[in-house]
Amino acid sequence: MTTSYKVMPGPEHFLPPSASSMGVRLPDPGQAHIHGTIVPEEEAMEQAARQFLSAKVPTIFPGPLVLWAWNEKAAKKAKAIRHLYETIKECVDSKIQQAMLIPMPDYRPKYPKINPEVEINPNHPNLTIWHNKIDACMFVGVHCHQANLSLKIIRGGTSCYTVAMCAQAGHEDAMLSFRDATAEKIDRLADWVKKLKGSVPPPD
Amino acid sequence: MSKERIKIAEELYDIMPPEYQDLVKRATYGNETRGWKDIGTAKELIEEHSLCAGCPESMAFRYILASLPNPEDTVMVGSTGCTSLVFPHVAVHNIHSLFGNQNAIASGLKRALSVRFPDRTKDVVVLAGDGATVDIGLDMTLQAWFRQEKFTTICFDNELYANTGGQESGLMQKGFVAKMAPVGKSFEKVRLPEIARESGCHYVVQCTVSKPNLVEKIIKNAIYVAREIGPTYLQIYTPCILEIGKNSMEGLQEMRDSEKPTERFAFKEFVSEPAKELLAERAAKEKERKAEAKKQLAGQTA
């Protein structure tokens, strides 16, 4: 099935359609998608690294699957995520760019509201994005249904570029999505960021 | 989820909000002697709640969550109603079922957990309002008891459908006029504790939440009996202060007034013979444990 629908940075509008309902399909192993177009994984790695390096506030949102050390793999991924964050921080121009690492510790709707400076919540992720003026972000370790919900809300109400580092089959609702995430894959992304350092124009 | 798994990844520890760090450091997971007295000194398993100011249900939630003997291995099943506004804020696994379906969900869940984790104690606790337990879900409630499903059913009885504006429920008292029941209830409050006893529940209590130590005791008893013997039922009065025209400060007094010996929420307890034996055994062990602790303490101070 082919589709003319592109998963682009928003704000699309209130309640955007799910990308899958618009014909966007998921990549096969070894592939990724950029704006809904299936590409080789390395191409997506380069694109994601470019997005981080050209963003004013490149941010990683680790979810419960990696924040909690519930098994050895999760602990390894947490280490890789910290490494990716430190790499982005090192490679951007700290005068005009600010890398962030903001957790999504669980999915409970917080009452009366979340503190957008310290966390993101899948029920209103736009609050954290607006508050910190985040223009590129990566979800990792978030359960699929909560990630889909967040990615759609972000696309609907913000202009943030979304990347999904998914441990399963990927996310149509992200602008760029990897699949089968491992600690090694996250480290490879960090290597791409390092490789492209200095070659990507910084934000205006 | 075992206690060992409630651990934050070392590399990301510093970015976790303090309430989650507290949950790991100061919550009373893995401590069978936990109870309502931990409130104020340990991290509670309820973060914040979205109930009305002064709602007795929030007190009930806090006491119950503080009293679960095995929260890291407990799954709570909720249903539609005010309770469903609170479940998203608690740090105990929970499932929201279809309205009235909670005891059917809990039956399957308990059986699945027994198969999946044969060597671990897994408690299942249903917590629903009177509409879900007695009206819409009565079929599921009774059938679970008939089948002797090993879990605890807790009914937060506020005697009407508070969440939707005050419609009549089976547990409403006769003659009561509510906002959306203007002619008044025409029949008596359903006697569910008696029905529970006759339907095979081994431990049944009716009370209010005015006394936290009593709530702790009945919660623990109900869960221990459900673990070993069969279904248990607790009917707890959590008045909806808004629907009965009270102020935020008057919830506790309302419960005290309603639990007097001649009132409809006078303490009521039914215990089956096997449950009596089990509870006596546990009480003896607890006495021994306390005596031993006292002896050790005396030894240390001598």
Cα distances from B291 to residues A57, B244, B294, in angstroms, run 61, 46, 5
Q: What is the mean pLDDT of residues B89-117?
A: 95
Is B236 contained in some domain?
yes
Rounded Cα distance between A178 and A156, Å, is 21
Residues of B in contact with A66 (CB under 8 A): 9, 12
Residue of B nearest to A109 (CA): B88
Burial class (CB in 10 A: 0-12, 13-18, 19+), A117: exposed
Lowest mean pLDDT among A24-28, A175-179, B37-41, B84-88: B84-88
Angle at A177 between CA A174 and CA A182, to 5 degrees: 135
Interface-testing mutation among A82, A100, A101, A140, with chain B (most B C-beta atoms within 10 A): A82
Q: What is the mean pLDDT of residues B177-185?
A: 93
More confident residue, B52 or B300: B52
Contact (CB<8Å) A66/B15: no
Chain A nearest CA to B274, separation (Å): 39
Percentage of residues in chain B having pLDDT higher than 90: 85
pLDDT exceeds cutoff 60 at B2: no
Q: 3-state secondary structure string, B11-76? A: HHHHHCCHHHHHHHHHECCCCCCCCHHHECCEECCECCCCCCCCCHHHHHHHHHHHHCCCHHHEEE
Q: What is the mean pLDDT of residues A123-151?
A: 96
More confident residue, B47 or A139: A139
> What was the pLDDT predicted at A204?
80
Count of the separate structural domains present in chain B: 1
The backbone torsions φ and ψ at residue A61, rounded to the nearest 5 degrees and listed phi first, read -110, 95
> Confidence band (pLDDT; 50, 70, 90) for A3?
confident
Query: B112: how many CB neighbours lie within 10 A of its CB?
Result: 12
Rounded Cα distance between B24 and B3, Å, is 9
Interface-testing mutation among A67, A89, A102, A113, with chain B (most B C-beta atoms within 10 A): A67
Chain A nearest CA to B81, separation (Å): 17
pLDDT exceeds cutoff 60 at A107: yes
Q: Write down the domain spans for chain A.
A: 32-98+110-164+171-196
Which of B5-14, B25-34, B61-70 is most confident? B61-70
Contact (CB<8Å) A69/B6: no
Rounded Cα distance between A58 and A119, Å, is 15
> What was the pLDDT predicted at A1?
55
Give the CATH number for residue B253.
3.40.50.970
Is B15 contained in some domain?
no
DSSP per-residue codes, chain B:
--GGG--B-GGGGGGS-HHHHHHHHHB-TT-TT--GGGBTTBB-SB----SPTT-HHHHHHHHHHHH-S-GGGEEEEE-SSTHHHHGGGBSSEEEE-STT-HHHHHHHHHHHHHHH-TTS--EEEEEEEHIIIIIITHHHHHHHHHTT-SSEEEEEE-SEETTTT-EE-TTSPTT--BTTBTT---SPPP-HHHHHHHTT-SEEEEEESS-HHHHHHHHHHHHHHHHHT--EEEEEE---TTTTT--GGGHHHHHHHHTSTTSTT--EEEE-HHHHHHHHHHHHHHHHHHHHHHHHHHHHH-
Is B276 contained in some domain?
no
Cβ-Cβ contacts under 8 Å between A and B: the total is: 61
Q: Which CATH class is domain A32-98+110-164+171-196?
A: alpha beta
What is the complex's ipTM, to 2 decimals?
0.93
Contact (CB<8Å) B12/A62: yes
Q: Is B17 on the interface with A (CB under 8 A)?
A: yes
Model confidence pLDDT, tens digit, residues B132-180: 999 999 999 999 999 999 999 999 999 999 989 899 999 999 999 999 9
Contact (CB<8Å) B17/A103: yes
Distance from CA of residue A62 to its chain's centroid? 9
Model confidence pLDDT, tens digit, residues B196-255: 999 999 999 999 999 999 999 999 999 999 999 999 999 999 999 999 999 999 999 999
> Confidence band (pLDDT; 50, 70, 90) for B5?
low
- Adjacent-strand bridge partners of B95: B77
Residue of A nearest to B94 (CA): A108
Chain A nearest CA to B191, separation (Å): 36
A82 closest CB neighbour out of B6, B11, B17:
B11
* Angle subtended by helix axes A183-196 and A72-91, to nearest 10: 10
Q: Is B53 on the interface with A (CB under 8 A)?
A: no
Domain that holds residue B95: 33-271
Contact (CB<8Å) A102/B11: no
Residue of A nearest to B19 (CA): A105
- Adjacent-strand bridge partners of A34: A37, A176
B residues 176-235 near A, CB within 8 Å? none
Is B158 contained in some domain?
yes
Is B16 contained in some domain?
no
**Chain A: which residues have CB within 8 Å of chain B?**
62, 66-70, 74-75, 78-79, 81-82, 101-103, 105-106, 108-112, 115, 118-119
Is B277 contained in some domain?
no
Is B148 contained in some domain?
yes
Rounded Cα distance between A151 and A130, Å, is 14
Rounded Cα distance between B149 and B226, Å, is 8
Rounded Cα distance between A142 and A107, Å, is 9
> What was the pLDDT predicted at B3?
62
Chain B nearest CA to A105, separation (Å): 7
